[in-house]
Structure 1
Amino acid sequence: MLYLLGLVISLLLVHGDSYEPAVSYVPFYLISSVIVTAAVALLLLPTRQFGEGFCVFSYALYAVLLAAATFFTGGVSSELYVLFFPLLFAPALHGSWKMGLPVATAVLVSYALAMLPGVLNAVEGSDEPALVFFRLATFALTGLFALAAAGSRGASEPEDGYALDEDGSMLLGRVSSEIEARRGAPVGVLLVDPGHGVEDIDLLLDRVRSRIGEPFLLGEGSVFGIVLGAANEGVIESAARRVLAAANALGADETRAGAAIYPRDARTAGDLLLAAGRALERAFEIESPSAIVLAGRDAPRTEGTGTYGAAR
C-alpha cells in the first residue's frame, strides 16, 4: 500500500499548478507503471513470502524507483524527496536493524546517484550541491534514528525471531486475518506441546518456521501454535506429524498436537482456537508417546504406525 500511496501523491503533486520543476512525463509515467505493477504483485503474494531478505529487496527496489521518479520530476528541485522518509522508517516496524541498515544505504546511494548529474552541471555559485548534501545528511540522521528504534524494539523480542505470544492475541489476530483473506476457504490451527526433553526449543521452532509456518510460542511452557491457510484435514495432519517428528528428533517425549479447521469446526477465530485447544487436551488422554487429535471427530481411537497415534 505504501507503493500505491506514494504514487498517488506523486501524480497529484507533479500535475499541480504550483509544481514548478520541469517534468519529463513519459519516463515518469513508465516509472509509475513499474511502481503500480510492483505494488499489485506484492499485494497478491502470501504473507509467508515476506521474509527479511524479501522485504529488504522490496524496500531497496522502491528506493531505486523513487530515485528515478525524483530525477525525472525536476532532479535537485524535485519535491518527491519527501517520500523517502516513510521508506526509512518502514524497516523499524520489523524491529530489525539488520534490515534497516541496507534500506538506509539503498536510499542514500539511490538519491545521491539520481542527483549527481544535477550537482555536476550546477552553475557556479548555485546552492543545489549544498541542498543535495543537506538532504543526504537528513536522510542519514533519519536512518540512524530508525535504526535505533528498530534496535530498541528488537531488544525486547526474542533473539531467535519467533513470535512470543503471552496472551494468545497474536495467534488470534493471525487466525482472524487468514479467515478474512481466505473468504470461506479452510483455515487450520495447529497447537503443539512438544512435551519434555526437547534439547533446543529454539532450534525446533526455527525448523517449524522454515518447513511449515510461523510458530507462535504461547505463554504456557513450550506450547506453540501454527496457522495454516487453505489447509484441509490431510494437510493439517501431515503438518502435525512433521512437527512431532522434528520434536522427537531433538529428544522430546510425550509430544501432543491438537488441530481444528475453519469452517468445519468453528465459525469464528476465537471458537477455532478453543476447538484446537480442546483437541490438544484430548490428545493427552491417549496412551501413546505421540498423539494427534483433530477436532470435529468421533470418540478418540489410536491408529498409525511408529510412535504416532492419530486420535479421530
Structure 2
Amino acid sequence: MSGESSHRRNARCLKALALLYLALVGASFLLVYGDAYEPAVHLLLFLAACSVGVTASVAVVLLPAEQFSWGFSGGVYALLAASTAMMTFFSGGTSSELYLLFFPLLLAAALHGSWRVALWAFVSVLLFYALAVLPGLLNEEADASVAAPVLYRLGILGLTGVFVAVVYRLSAGGGEEEDSIVSDEDGSLLLERVEREISARRGVQVAVILVDPGRGVEDVEALLERVRARIAEPVLLGEGTVFGLVLSGVGDREIESAARRALAAAGSLGARETRAGVAVYPRDARSAEDLLVAAGRALEAAFEVDSPSAIVLAGRRVTREEERRAAR
C-alpha cells in the first residue's frame, strides 16, 4: 500500500466493524427476546455467545493500530464469525434469523485492500455458519422444509463473498497485488510516513528502524512479507535489500524488540550478517529529516560492530553477543 500503513488501515476498518457489531448484538438481543421471535432460544448459552462477540469488539476498539497485522485482522474476523455462529446456533440454529450478522463481516473484510483478509473472512463465515446449522440438518425430524432455507442462506452468503471479490478485483484493475511491497527509490515515501506520524502524534515517540539484511537472504520479498505480518509495514529503499520501518507510540523496549525480530526474520531466511540502525523522535532528532539521517548514521555504525548481527540505537550498540552474555 503506497499511501498509508496497512496496520492503520486494518485498524480503522476493524474498529468501525467492532462498533457496528456491538450495535448489531444489541439489536439481536432485542429481536431474540421479543414476543414475535418464534425459534427456541437457550437463554444462558445465547448470552455467553453474545459476550464473546462483545468482548472481542471492545478489545478491538481499545487496541493500538500497531497490533493490526494481516494475520491478526484475519483472526478477528474468524473470532467474530465464530461468535455469530454460536449466537445463531443458540437462537434457533436452522431457523435463526441471526445469519444476517454474517453479511457485515464479508463487506467489511473487502475494505482492507487485501485478498488474504477477505478470503479468511469468507471461509470463516461459510465454515462457522455450516457448523451452526449442521446439528439441525442431521436431526432425524429434519426434512426438505428445513434444508431448503439453510442451503438458500449458504448460497446467498457465498454469492455475497464472490460479488465482493469481483468488485474488489475490478476496482484494483486486475493489476498488481494490492499488498505488494512498497519500493521507495529516493526515500521520499519513508520521509512522508515519518512526517505524518510525527504530526499526528505530537509528544509521542516515533522510531525509524533501518534494516540491512545483507546479501545472503534467499528471498527478499518473503522477508518483507514476514516483517509486515509480524512487525510493521516495511518500505524497501532503492533497488537493494535495505528497508525501513516506522513505529509510533511504543517504548524503547518495544522498539528494540522490533529491530531484533526484523534481524531474526532475515536470519531465518539465510542472512548471515544483518545490521539495523534505530533513531527515535524526539530524543535523537527534532524533525523527520534529521530522524532519517540519525537512523542512517546508526545503520552505518552497526557495520563497525564486530558481530554477525548488530543493532545500533542512536548512540549505543546492542549486538547479539552482548545480548547472550547479558542473558547469562
TM class by shorter-chain length?
A: 0.5 to 0.7
Partner of 2:245: 226
For 2:123 and 2:257, locate their aligned partners in 1 and report how far apart those are by CA, in whole Å: 45
> Contact conserved, 1:89 with 1:146, CA < 8 A, in 2?
yes
Distance 1:285 1:118, change over 3 A: closer
Q: How does 1:247-266 map to 2 (within 5 A)?
A: 250=271, 259-265=278-284
Partner of 1:110: 128
Distance 1:149 1:250, change over 3 A: farther
C-alpha displacement of 1:106: 2.8
Rg larger in 1 or in 2? Answer: 1
Distance 1:33 1:245, change over 3 A: closer
1:12 to 23, 27, 40: 27
Per the normalisation by structure 1, the TM-score is 0.64
> Contact conserved, 2:25 with 2:50, CA < 8 A, in 1?
no
Partner of 2:224: 205
Other structure's SS at 2:150 match: helix
For 1:303 and 1:7, locate their aligned partners in 2 and report how far apart those are by CA, in whole Å: 47
For 2:257 and 2:45, locate their aligned partners in 1 and report how far apart those are by CA, in whole Å: 52
Distance 1:274 1:292, change over 3 A: farther
Partner of 2:77: 59
C-alpha displacement of 1:11: 1.7
Q: Is 1:39 matched with 2:57? A: yes
Percent identity between the two aligned chains? 42
> Contact conserved, 1:4 with 1:36, CA < 8 A, in 2?
no
Per the normalisation by structure 2, the TM-score is 0.62
For 1:221 and 1:121, locate their aligned partners in 2 and report how far apart those are by CA, in whole Å: 65
C-alpha displacement of 1:94: 4.5
Distance 1:49 1:68, change over 3 A: same
- Cα displacement string for residues 94-151 of structure 1 (whole angstroms, at most 9, x for unaligned residues): 455455445323322322343356565888785x543322221111111223344566
Q: Is 1:81 matched with 2:78? A: no
Residue-pair matches, total: 289
Q: How does 1:170-249 map to 2 (within 5 A)?
A: 172=193, 176=197, 180=201, 184=203, 186-192=205-211, 201-202=220-221, 204-205=223-224, 213-218=231-236, 220-222=238-240, 223-228=242-247, 230-232=250-252, 236=256, 239=259, 243=263
Other structure's SS at 2:283 match: coil
Other structure's SS at 2:234 match: strand
> Contact conserved, 1:213 with 1:227, CA < 8 A, in 2?
no
Q: Is 1:132 matched with 2:150? A: yes
Bigger RCO of structures 1 and 2 (CA < 8 A, at least 6 apart): 2
